[in-house]
Amino acid sequence: MARGVSPGARVMLSHVEIYVSDLERSAHFWDWLLGLLGYQPFQSWAEGRSWRRNGFYLVRVQAPYDHVGAGYHRRRIRLNHLAFTADDRNQVDQITEALRNRGGRLLYEERYPHAGGPDSDAVFNR
């Protein structure tokens, strides 16, 4: 528990910041997907873009060239995954079809739509 937060207090995720190797390519994809999910463009600057919805925002930042290598550094390109909530199964199907049409590389396609388990409808894109 973070210092100054009492047990049982409502804590909300503020934002996620991801460093990327190609900001323009990344922004092109995220503009499309986040738009489908109801996010709005929030900020844009030479090295980054952000989108927000309901007080939460997602930031994509161009990793400095000297941090695009192997080994750990907090500013290197990385994040395991992001999970978004869709409105319903129909929206998951629409996003899946759109990803296929856009040349998306789906993970666990053979288990679609239950790759996340029998009680969830999900699509995984890499």
pLDDT of amino acid 3: 41
Burial degree of 115 (CB within 10 A; 0-12, 13-18, 19+): middle
Third-level CATH fold of 13-63: 2,3-Dihydroxybiphenyl 1,2-Dioxygenase; domain 1 (3.10.180)
Is the pLDDT at 77 greater than 70? The verdict is: no
12-32 pLDDT, tens digit per residue, is: 567 888 888 889 988 989 999
36-76 pLDDT, tens digit per residue, is: 999 999 999 999 999 999 888 899 988 887 777 666 565 66
C-beta of residue 61 within 8 angstroms of C-beta of residue 99 = no
C-beta of residue 76 within 8 angstroms of C-beta of residue 64 = no
pLDDT over 90, % of the chain: 30
| CA of residue 120 relative to chain centroid, distance | 18
* 0.75 exceeded by pTM: no
Domain assignments of the chain as residue spans, ordered by start: 13-63, 83-126
Q: How far is 115 from 104, CA to CA, in rounded Å?
A: 16
